[in-house]
Amino acid sequence: MSGLSKSLTRSALRPVLIGVGSLILFFIFLEFAVRFGLINQFAVAPPSDIVKAFPRLFAEEHVGDRFLDTAFEAVIASVFVALFGISAGVLLYKVRILRLATETWVAAFAAAPTVLLYPLFLVIFGRNATTIIMMGFVAGLAPVTLKTLEGLSTTRRVLVNVGRSFNLTEWQLFWKILFPSALPTIFVGVRLGLVFALINIVGVEFLINFGGLGALINELSERFDLAGTYAAICFVILVSVMVFMTTERAERWLTSAG
């Protein structure tokens, strides 16, 4: 999937060069297209202006603090997502009838456009960080629950039989066999939950114009600061790609060790 992990070998270097090279060419084209009026300069900022806007983001717009706001919300939401999602998954695994009754509901909830609940959450919690955190929580809950359930129930039968043949108690069976066996899948769920939570958090910040990075984009665009808006968007993309890549690394490390 990601060419980046293999970039160390010589044969894999070519596609990376092509990818990055095309991107640079694209930016150069954009620069000239805007400068020479091929593209409306009120719609697209020239890449050089976007680059120049970056220091301004840090100095005047306190993008660092904004980032910390968003990160704080994301961390709180993820902790809650992991806590409640894993517990719910274990509960559904243990109580078979509850699973039969509600698994399709959870799956439907996972596919539902929960972010559209934000006006409702605004009414309930007000225009503050709680609303944003709760929106993140709602987005991440279902995938973690479903992945935990999947991990536990796809534990290979023979491993459970090994445990039973050694006369393990229910408690030991869970902590020594089911849980470690499910852990890589659970982590996939937590990672999905974190990514979904982050998407919702930045999105809701933008929509309700409160808090961290999302709100910054909104403010800059309302001030018609074209280069600043583009720079802030680039910053957000950079942050989410970094989060995505780091957690992907962690996931790969975990699945290869386990």
> For the CA atoms of the chain, what is the radius of gyration?
23
Contact call for residue 98 and another protein (CB under 8 A): yes
For residue 64, give Cα distances in angstroms to 29, 194, 198, 239: 31, 20, 17, 12
User: Quick one: which segment of 30-38, 78-86, 97-105, 140-148 binds another protein (CB under 8 A)?
Assistant: 97-105
Q: Which of 120, 128, 252, 253 binds another protein (CB under 8 A)?
A: 120
Q: For the segment 141-200, give every residue that binds another protein (CB under 8 A).
A: 156, 158-159, 161-162, 164-168, 172, 176-177, 180-181, 183, 195, 198-200
Distance CA 201, CA 177 (A): 35
Q: With contacts defined by CB under 8 A, how many residues of the chain interact with another protein?
A: 73
Q: Which of 8, 10, 42, 59 binds another protein (CB under 8 A)?
A: 42
Residue 64 or 119: the one with the smaller Cβ distance to another protein is 119
Residue with tokens 């069976």: 173
Query: Shortest approach of another protein to residue 256 CB, angstroms?
Result: 7
Q: For the segment 202-231, give every residue that binds another protein (CB under 8 A).
A: 202-203, 206-207, 214, 217-218, 221, 226, 229-230
Q: Which of 68, 124, 249, 252 binds another protein (CB under 8 A)?
A: 124
Contact call for residue 250 and another protein (CB under 8 A): no
Closest CA to 90 of 153, 148, 150, 176: 148
Q: Which of 31, 153, 233, 251 binds another protein (CB under 8 A)?
A: 233
For 147, the token pair is 């992945």
Burial of 139 (0-12, 13-18, 19+ CB in 10 A): buried
User: Quick one: which segment of 9-17, 56-64, 80-88, 129-137 binds another protein (CB under 8 A)?
Assistant: 9-17
Residue 8 or 158: the one with the smaller Cβ distance to another protein is 158
For residue 186, give Cα distances in angstroms to 15, 113, 155, 195, 251: 33, 23, 12, 14, 10
Distance CA 9, CA 78 (A): 36
Q: For the segment 62-91, give every residue that binds another protein (CB under 8 A).
A: none
Q: Which of 1, 9, 10, 59 binds another protein (CB under 8 A)?
A: 1
For residue 68, give Cα distances in angstroms to 29, 46, 73, 90, 246: 35, 28, 8, 32, 17
Contact call for residue 240 and another protein (CB under 8 A): yes
